[in-house]
Amino acid sequence: MRFDELERRYEEAQAALARAETPEALESWRTAWMGRKGAITALTRQIRDLPKEERPAFGQRINEVKAALEAAYEARAAEVKAEALAQELAEGAVDITLPGRPLNVGHLHLTTQTLREIYAIFERMGFEVYEAPEVELGYYNFDLLNIPPYHPARDMWDTFWVDDDLLLRTHTSPGQIRVMRERYPEPIRVILPGKVYRYEQITARSEHQFYQVEGLAVGRHITMSDLIGTLTEFTRMFYGEHRRTRVRGSYFPFTEPSIEIDTDCILCGGKGCPVCKYTGWLEIAGAGMVHPVVLQNGGYDPDEWSGFAFGLGVERPAMMKYGVKDIRLFYGNDLRFLRQF
């Protein structure tokens, strides 16, 4: 009878163990069957109630059952642990078929793109790129360009002085003198790109730091029609055939005669807006025939040589080409703007 109960309990314990699927269930099983108050332990206690002769056989069987259940428990515990690990791996695993996170790739700034377009156009017309310093002697920025210290034209370009002699250049024109002095007596056809600085109020059309591309051609028979032809060709290639340009008489101390080139304002379609100062036109370049004094300062005899020069903005032509309404957007570092180009 006791043997029957032991075998029945043994089977029940095995079945219950097979149903335990979590570490918690295993623990409960262990307490319920093998613990101090567990069912198998309770059977052990019954040994003393048995007739003496049955005790050894029953004791031996109970020990076998206990050992078998311990072993089964260990095996089941290992299984449950392996299943839990497999599940954890499946849940937290890396799916190598997922597409990777996109890398943020930058691109060239609108100003750099525009500069490169400008270089490409002038390269096709035979101009080479020449670089001149951004921190410049006042002597080159003004005096050698026919702007003596007392001359009121100095007021057109106020800037940031580094010391009594050095300044942040107000335009790329001082580079003209540097090329001429370096290249004499060769004919010259160069563009001089770079940053320029002005102490002036920032508005939708004016920055205190911006880019210019200077142009200089010096030769034996260079005339105003070469200048107008070159700039007209530039605007045609930069904007396309449809854009209107106009040439106006102007004044610069370092050119004589002087002109300015305007394009029709695409922001307002010519109706007038703050960027074009309500004229329908925006100046993109100042230009003219190199003043004889400037040719002389560069080492070229004005009786033998002539030349033209121009100073083209970079941001303003870009505004007119791409419809940028405010020049402050260029260097405001707002990615919503920069990503559009």
| Residues forming the site for ligand FA5 (CB under 6 A) | 171, 173, 198, 200, 206-207, 210, 212, 214, 252, 255, 283-288, 309-311, 313, 315-316, 327
CB atoms near residue 183 (< 10 Å): 17
Cα of first residue to Cα of last residue in the chain, in angstroms, is 93
CB of 310 to ligand FA5, least distance (A): 5
Residues 127 and 119: their CA atoms lie apart, in Å, by 8
Q: Do 306 and 220 touch, CB atoms closer than 8 A?
A: yes
- Minimum CB separation from ligand FA5 for residue 175, in Å? 10
Q: How far is the CB of 205 from ligand FA5 (least distance, A)?
A: 7
Q: For the CB of residue 234, give the shortest distance to ligand FA5 in the complex, in Å.
A: 13
Identify whether the C-beta of residue 147 lies closer than 8 Å to the C-beta of residue 153. Answer: yes
The CB-of-93 to ligand FA5 minimum distance in angstroms stands at 57
In terms of CB distance, is 8 or 116 closer to ligand FA5?
116
CB of 94 to ligand FA5, least distance (A): 52
CB of 315 to ligand FA5, least distance (A): 5
Residue 76 or 198 having the CB closest to ligand FA5? 198
Q: Which is nearer to ligand FA5, 61 or 109 (CB)?
A: 109
We find the least distance from the C-beta atom of residue 183 to ligand FA5, in angstroms, to be 17
Q: How far is CA 277 from the centre of its chain?
A: 32
Q: Which is nearer to ligand FA5, 81 or 246 (CB)?
A: 246
Return the number of the residue (72 or 247) whose C-beta is nearest ligand FA5.
Answer: 247
The residue (of 69 and 159) whose beta carbon lies closer to ligand FA5 is: 159
Q: Which one, 210 or 239, has the nearer CB to ligand FA5?
A: 210
Other C-beta atoms within 10 Å of 196: how many?
Answer: 26
Closer to ligand FA5 by Cβ: residue 25 or 153:
153
Q: Tell me how far, at minimum, the Cβ of 174 lies from ligand FA5, in Å.
A: 9
Q: Which of 62, 222 has the CB closer to ligand FA5?
A: 222
Q: Which residue is nearest to ligand FA5 (CB)?
A: 313
3-state secondary structure the chain: CHHHHHHHHHHHHHHHHHHCCCHHHHHHHHHHHHCCCCHHHHHHHHHHHCCCCCHHHHHHHHHHHHHHHHHHHHHHHHHHHHHHHHHHHHHHCCCCCCCCCCCCCCCCCHHHHHHHHHHHHHHHCCCEECCCCCEEEHHHHCHHHCCCCCCHHHHHCCCCECCCCEEECCCCCHHHHHHHHHHCCCCEEEEEEEEEECCCCCCCCCCCEEEEEEEEEEECCCCHHHHHHHHHHHHHHHHCCCCCEEEEEEEECCEEEEEEEEEECCCCCCCCCCCCCCCCEEEEEEEEEECHHHHHHCCCCCCCCEEEEEEEECHHHHHHHHCCCCHHHCCCCCHHHHCCC
